[in-house]
Amino acid sequence: MAMRVRTAALLLSMLTACVGDDPPPAPGVVNGGNDAGVDSSTNPGGGNATLTIDPLNVTFPVTAPGDTSEERDLVVTNKGTAAAPALEKATVTGANASSFQIASDGCVGKALAAGESCTARLAFKPAAEGAATATLTIGTLSAQLAGDSSVFTPETTSDGVANSLRAVHVKDSTHVYAVGDSGRVIVSNGNGWTAQAAPAGSNELRSVYASSGGYVYVGGAGPTLIVQKPSSTGFDTVAVPAGGPSAINALWATPAGAQQKNVFALGEGGKWLSLDEGAAPNLPQSYPVGTAVFGASGNHNAAGGGSIGLCAAGANATLAYYSSSNGGFGGSATTLTPASRTFTGVWTDGPNVVVVASDGSISRGTGCGSGLAVEYTGTPALAGIWGTSTKDLWAVGSGGTILHSSAPGAWTAVASGTTKDLRAIHGSSGSNLYAVGDGIILHKKK
């Protein structure tokens, strides 16, 4: 009797334990507690299927609106011990889903065996500028997608060296020159960048100008002045006369059609040089721009007898004007308030002048120093300006800043896709311009 009582109690205890337990998972049902990148299921024949997706986060390269980026692969792998159920079709969802395209879906309908993988391939094709995000989903697996769209897209050099670049000049779509630290000179033919050797001792290069006559002039600290002659791939050193600028920060040459092929080299020490293309520099001359010139822009008036005007901008918010009619920088310089800033770049078409400054301000006027007034103020320091007209101006600066103006007084930020400092911008048209800076090259092709 005692034995029967003990047996009944044991059976009752076992029954109570079974009632309190969770039932085993049904075949093919995902177990709880998995993250978005893992899908585990049991197989009726035994074993588990564990699906993963890699990578969980995909960032596409900066892509211009309307262009299509390089494709990126997302790989689904069964890391379990049994076959998985057939996979569903890959889908993209989210506010910017239309900016991401599934180029191929090699996973749809596949029942991956243990250790087997499949691949879905995606591309970024934005319709407008700005950041875009979305989610790729394959069954219960998901990955986050991100891309940044800008009219400026990055380019790299063939040797992969990313020196800080300080100046760029675009002669045309197949002749683009950029220079910078450590004597760096790189050239683009429109399909890629290659390095060219500068003469020994060419260290910090700060300016470059490709003249209409086929000469390429480069200036820098030292002072350094080197020239590449037409049909040559090397550079020759140009001797800077004693008493000349201690560094050459800006270069400008007369355009095609000018009667005289003049080159102007301006910089630090209150001195500037002029030379005829291919010839030695003339004796240094003085200009009233204080300690240094950091930007120069000129205009050739073919209808006015071939006269040349050149506006130089520099330290202490100072501008000075050169006129070929008087053979130099006549009169006194114009210093704007506040004088604590430095004018780092200038653009002119003759009657109009626009300057950018180290305090992030932009000033515009109708002459080199006359009637200029601040029309834009911002936080990042600005370093360069270029444009095709008063209705198409571009400025660059610290932190990847790019500004565009399509009308006097109106400046808007343009996505650059970088936080690196930009130091210079130049182009041959509104649809072919380059911005360069601290280890970066950006190209606008539209």
Q: Class for domain 154-444, per CATH?
A: mainly beta
pLDDT, tens digit (0-9, with 9 covering 90-100), for 151-198:
898 998 887 777 899 999 999 999 999 999 999 999 999 989 999 988
pLDDT the model gives residue 327: 66
Confidence of residue 372 (pLDDT cuts 50, 70, 90): confident
HEC secondary structure over the chain: CHHHHHHHHHHHHHHHHHHHCCCCCCCCCECCCCCCCEEEEECCCCCEEEEEEECCEEECCCECCCCCCCCEEEEEEECCCCCCCCCCCCEEECCCHHHEEEEEECCCCCCCCCCCEEEEEEEECCCCCEEEEEEEEECCEEEEEEEEECCEEEECECCCCCCEEEEEEEEECCEEEEEEHHHEEEEECCCCEEEECCCCCCCCEEEEEECCCCCEEEEEECCEEEEECCCCCCCEECCCCCCCCCEEEEEEECCCCCCCCEEEEEEECCEEEEEECCCCCCCCEECCCCCEEEEEEEEEEHHHCCEEEEEEEEHHHEEEEEECCCCEECCCCEECCCCCCCEEEEEECCCCEEEEECCCCEEEECCCCCCCEEEECCCCCEEEEEEEECCEEEEEEHHHEEEEEEECCEEEECCCCCCCCEEEEEEEECCEEEEEEECEEEEECC
pLDDT, tens digit (0-9, with 9 covering 90-100), for 301-355:
655 456 788 888 888 888 888 877 766 776 667 888 888 899 999 999 888 999 9
Is 38-149 assigned to CATH 2.60.40.10? Answer: yes
The dihedrals phi and psi of 17, each to the nearest 5 degrees, come to: -65, -40
Domain limits, the chain: 38-149, 154-444
Stronger pLDDT, 270 or 397, i.e. the higher one: 397
pLDDT, tens digit (0-9, with 9 covering 90-100), for 16-68:
443 344 444 333 333 333 456 676 666 666 689 999 999 999 999 888 888 89
pLDDT the model gives residue 202: 85
- Give the mean model confidence (pLDDT) for residues 418-446: 94
Confidence of residue 415 (pLDDT cuts 50, 70, 90): confident
